[in-house]
């Protein structure tokens, strides 16, 4: 017994020792309490303010001494390894874009400068190549655009000249300033932020020869909440104008084609986001009253997520406005078709923190309607949604009225904490595919960033296989394409699966019809192959000859 007593903790039988039964309470310091002491926790859960676009600081990477990282094994392209925040990917600001006329991708990154606190350099990266004639990975050129206390940036492409316009914000303790193409912009905004700039020009899939008639620049004063826009023509920034909408979360984004402009803003009403659109028909000289995107008929419980995602223009000149929302369990990406007044559910997945965008790809135009047959053969749009590290996409070949089931892009790759995506383009490497370039930050299993490295990846996504019929008359075949390919003169080749059949002459009689003459008298039962290859797309199809 003496030995057992000796094993009791000292003071175990003393009446003066504290115990749960005597009213003492253990102090619990929760994760949320600790987060409030850092930048990451500066915004309380459920609170909506402009701070949601300030992102989170990126950590210094934890590395294993002997284990090779996935990026090293799979040779991912690194654009920068010393970013400081996810804010460069918050909101509609563009950090990566595609010049489909010149087969070039541009990306902008803000790198922390060595030995300089709060000093960054804005680097514009140009990646070119990666066509069938140049199968090697694209080469990268880097140009330093600016240095200083850079806070946010945005890029836009002049498709006619191939030049990239760069707009950015500098932010120091005593001053905040907006810059456009290297020039400081004089403004009534004391704390300008949320820069956005876009040209009025043809959408992707068109060869552009004429310079843009105008561009539009917008920003907001974070101190007063005032929202401003300016027209830009021939490189000259016009006078400042104020857009009075009430309390706006973030700033303004827009898309323009010819004299038409559609702008998107998020109003903050009773703590909830109300997305609105504004239209201009006079080349951005004025805007009509805001029109609310009515989501009342959508599933109850879903609330719009902050982001004021930018509108887009499809290949036929139709405007679309993407909306991201969540009910706390699921996240959705919706496409609002402005002309039809329809809200289309593009992606719906488990997740609570949706980010994303709607992008355009150069689809076929042979069908007379934007929506094709209702599921395919129409104008091309791709919806992208990221949540909890997972990246999903869905390709609409029906002008955004129909989206197939979404696919997770990074199903066997690192998770993604933040990202930006280009428009889709035809790389020419594989027929019936489109490609998208992404800049992204890696995440852990919780969706939190794990490093300060900006990676570049290209995803190739399948398009519908073209359908066609072929009818023979002796040695002649008449081909009619039913869907998902256009027979562009000078850009299409014909052959037969039987190599002994020679093609003697081809007449392309329309976007969907052609006559093929051969040296074979009887062609029934053979297979005619057609392949279209342009700078915008590559299509491959087959038709059994009847």
Q: What is the mean pLDDT of residues 388-411?
A: 95
Closest to 158 (Cα-Cα) out of 234, 93, 254, 230: 234
What tens digit of pLDDT does each residue of 478-499 get? 999 999 999 988 899 999 999 9
Checking if the pLDDT of 519 tops 70, the result is yes
Closest to 277 (Cα-Cα) out of 258, 252, 297: 252
What tens digit of pLDDT does each residue of 89-135 get? 999 999 999 998 898 999 999 999 886 768 999 999 999 865 555 55
Higher pLDDT, 42 or 235: 235
Domains present along the chain, CATH in parentheses: 70-462 (2.120.10.30), 467-544 (2.60.40.1250)
Task: Output the pLDDT for position 136.
Answer: 61
- The distance from CA 475 to its chain's CA centroid, rounded to whole angstroms, is 49
- The distance from CA 286 to its chain's CA centroid, rounded to whole angstroms, is 28
What tens digit of pLDDT does each residue of 292-322 get? 999 989 999 999 999 999 999 999 999 999 9
Q: Give the contacts of 503 (CB within 8 A, at least 6 positions apart).
A: 494, 495, 496, 516, 517, 518
The sign of the torsion formed by the CA atoms of 178, 112, 390, 402 equals: positive
Q: Where are the beta strands (DSSP E) in 351-414?
A: 355-361, 380-387, 390-396, 407-408
Q: How far apart are CA 477 and CA 471, in angstroms?
A: 6
Tokens of residue 387, six digits: 């949540």
- Residues 280/212, Cβ–Cβ less than 8 Å: no
Query: For the whole model, what pTM was predicted?
Result: 0.90
Q: How far apart are CA 460 and CA 326, in angstroms?
A: 28
């Amino acid at each position: 017994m003496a030995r057992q007593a000796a094993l009791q903790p000292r003071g175990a039988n003393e009446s003066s020792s504290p115990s749960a039964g005597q009213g003492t309470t253990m102090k619990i310091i929760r994760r949320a309490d600790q987060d409030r002491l850092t930048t990451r926790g500066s915004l309380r859960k459920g609170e909506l303010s402009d701070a949601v676009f300030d992102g989170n600081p990126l950590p210094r990477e934890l590395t294993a001494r002997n284990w090779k990282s996935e990026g090293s094994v799979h040779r991912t392209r690194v654009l920068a390894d010393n970013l400081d925040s996810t804010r460069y990917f918050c909101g509609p600001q563009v950090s990566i874009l595609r010049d489909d006329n010149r087969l070039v991708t541009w990306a902008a990154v803000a790198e922390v400068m060595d030995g300089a606190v709060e000093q960054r350099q804005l680097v514009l990266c140009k990646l070119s190549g990666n066509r069938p004639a140049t199968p090697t990975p694209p080469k990268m050129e880097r140009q330093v655009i600016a240095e200083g206390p850079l806070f946010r940036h945005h890029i836009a492409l002049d498709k006619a000249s191939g030049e990239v316009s760069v707009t950015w914000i500098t932010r120091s303790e005593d001053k905040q300033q907006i810059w456009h193409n290297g020039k400081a912009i004089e403004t009534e905004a004391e704390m300008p932020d949320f820069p956005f700039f876009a040209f009025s020009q043809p959408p992707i899939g068109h060869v552009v020869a004429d310079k843009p008639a105008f561009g539009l620049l917008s920003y907001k004063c974070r101190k007063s909440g005032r929202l401003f826009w300016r027209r830009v023509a021939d490189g000259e920034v016009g006078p400042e104008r104020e857009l009075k909408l009430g309390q706006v979360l973030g700033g303004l984004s827009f898309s323009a084609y010819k004299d038409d402009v559609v702008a998107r803003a998020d109003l903050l009403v009773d703590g909830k986001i109300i997305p609105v659109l504004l239209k201009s028909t006079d080349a951005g000289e004025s805007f009509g009253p805001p029109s609310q995107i009515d989501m009342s008929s959508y599933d109850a419980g879903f609330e719009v997520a902050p982001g004021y995602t930018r509108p887009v223009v499809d290949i036929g000149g139709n405007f679309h406005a993407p909306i991201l929302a969540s009910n706390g369990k699921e996240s959705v990406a919706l496409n609002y078709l402005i002309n039809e007044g329809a809200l289309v559910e593009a992606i719906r997945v488990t997740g609570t923190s949706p980010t994303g965008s709607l992008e355009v790809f150069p689809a076929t135009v042979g069908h007379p309607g934007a929506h094709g047959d209702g599921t395919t053969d129409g104008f091309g749009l791709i919806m992208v949604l990221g949540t909890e590290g997972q990246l999903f996409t869905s390709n609409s070949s029906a002008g955004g009225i129909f989206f197939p089931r979404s696919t997770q892009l990074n199903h066997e790759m690192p998770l993604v904490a933040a990202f930006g995506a280009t428009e889709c383009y035809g790389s020419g490497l594989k027929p019936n595919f489109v490609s998208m370039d992404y800049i992204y930050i890696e995440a852990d299993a919780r969706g939190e960033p794990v490093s300060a490295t900006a990676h570049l990846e290209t995803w190739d996504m399948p398009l519908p296989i073209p359908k066609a019929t072929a009818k023979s008359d002796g040695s002649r075949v008449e081909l009619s394409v039913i869907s998902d390919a256009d027979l562009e003169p000078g850009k299409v080749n014909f052959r037969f699966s039987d190599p002994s059949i020679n093609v003697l002459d081809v007449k392309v009689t329309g976007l969907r019809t052609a006559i093929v003459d051969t040296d074979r008298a009887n062609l029934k039962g053979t297979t005619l192959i057609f392949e279209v290859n342009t700078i915008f797309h590559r299509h491959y199809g087959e038709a059994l000859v009847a």
